[in-house]
Amino acid sequence: MASPGFGKRAVSGQGPRRADDFAGLPAREAAIAAYVDRLPDGACISIKALAAQLPYGQCALGTALRRLAEAGHLRLFRERTEGGRWVTRTHFSRVARDDAWWAAYQAGRDTGQAPEGEPRAEGAAAPRPAYAVLARLGEVDPRLALSAADCAALEPLAREWLRRGASEPYAASVLTAGLPEAVHHPRRFLQARLTAKMPPERELPAPPRLAPVLMECAVCRAPGSPQALPGGVCRECRGEAAAPDDRRGAAVRAYADGIRARMRQRPRVAR
C-alpha cells in the first residue's frame, strides 16, 4: 500500500478491460496506463515507485503521467481524511474523461451518462428486482403463478415494497403466507395483498457529508479549481504566461499621460 499522498483510486462505473483501452495513446503512455490500470486501489503510483517497477526513468515517467492527465485518464485530488489530515490521491480512469466530467466527479455528482468511449453491454436490460419477486412467486406456490403482463402490472406496488426496505425473501414470504385453498385470480389477489400489507415508510438516514476535495496539478501539485487546471495541469506547467492585468496597464498609461501633460504645461524659462 502507498504512503498517504500516492495511493491509486479507480473511478467507478467502468466496463471490463479491453485490449484496445489505451490504443489512442503513444506506446510508452499506453504501457504505463495499462500497468497502473491493473494495480489495486491503494497501490503506490508515485514516480519513484513506478520507476522501480517499469523500464522508464523518473523524468520519462513524469512526462508520461502528465500526458495521461491531459488525455483524461487521471487527476490528482487533495482530500481531507476523517482525522482531518490532507492527503493527495491519484484517481485513475480506464476511459478517457473530459474536464467537465472530472469537475462533476470532484463535486461528487453523478454525470448521468457514460462519456465517449465508455463500453456498454449491448442488449443488457436494467435489473428489475420487483418484477423478479413477482415472477418467482409461482415457483414458491403454483397458486400465485403470474403471466408477464400480470408481473408488469403489479411491478409498481412490489417496487414500493422494496423501496420501503422489504427484502426480496421477506416480500415473497409475506405474499405467499396463509393462502386460501384456491386462488382463482392471482393478479387480483396479489394486488389486494400488496396494497393491504404494504410495509410502513422507514426514516432514511441523512446522506453522509462529503469530505472537501481539491484538484491538484499533475506536475507541480499546486491546488486549483477544475477550470484553472484544464487537462489536470496548471498554466505555469503548460508553459503559458499569466494573462496581463489590463487594469494595471491602464493605470500606468494614465500616470505617464499625466506626467507628459504637466511637462507640457510647465512654463518655459528664458535664458
Give 106-125 as a 3 state SS string.
HHCCCCCCCCCCCCCCCCCC
For residue 246, the model assigns a pLDDT of: 54
Stronger pLDDT, 215 or 185, i.e. the higher one: 185
pTM of the model: 0.52
Is the pLDDT confidence value at 178 over 70? Answer: yes
Stronger pLDDT, 236 or 119, i.e. the higher one: 236
pLDDT averaged over every residue in the chain: 81
Alpha-carbon Rg for the chain, nearest whole angstrom, is 31
Q: Give mean pLDDT, residues 236-253.
A: 64
Per the DSSP assignment, residues forming a β-bridge with 229 are none
Residue 82 Cα distances to 5, 42, 79, 210, angstroms: 15, 17, 10, 11
For residue 110, the model assigns a pLDDT of: 42
Contact 218/74 with Cβ under 8 angstroms? yes
Stronger pLDDT, 82 or 232, i.e. the higher one: 232
Can you give the residue ranges of every domain in the chain?
Answer: 1-108+211-271, 129-196
Task: Work out the pLDDT band at 3, boundaries 50, 70, 90.
Answer: very low
Give the tens place of pLDDT for each residue, 122-166: 444 555 889 999 999 999 999 999 999 999 999 999 999 998 888
Is the pLDDT confidence value at 15 over 80? Answer: no
For residue 229, the model assigns a pLDDT of: 87
Q: Give mean pLDDT, residues 92-120.
A: 70
For residue 117, the model assigns a pLDDT of: 43
For residue 131, the model assigns a pLDDT of: 93
Task: Work out the pLDDT band at 211, boundaries 50, 70, 90.
Answer: low
Angstrom distance (rounded) from CA 89 to CA 93: 13
Strand 223-224's sheet: what is its strand order? 8-10, 86-92, 74-80, 213-216, 223-224
At position 42, the amino acid (one-letter code) is G
Task: Work out the pLDDT band at 35, boundaries 50, 70, 90.
Answer: very high
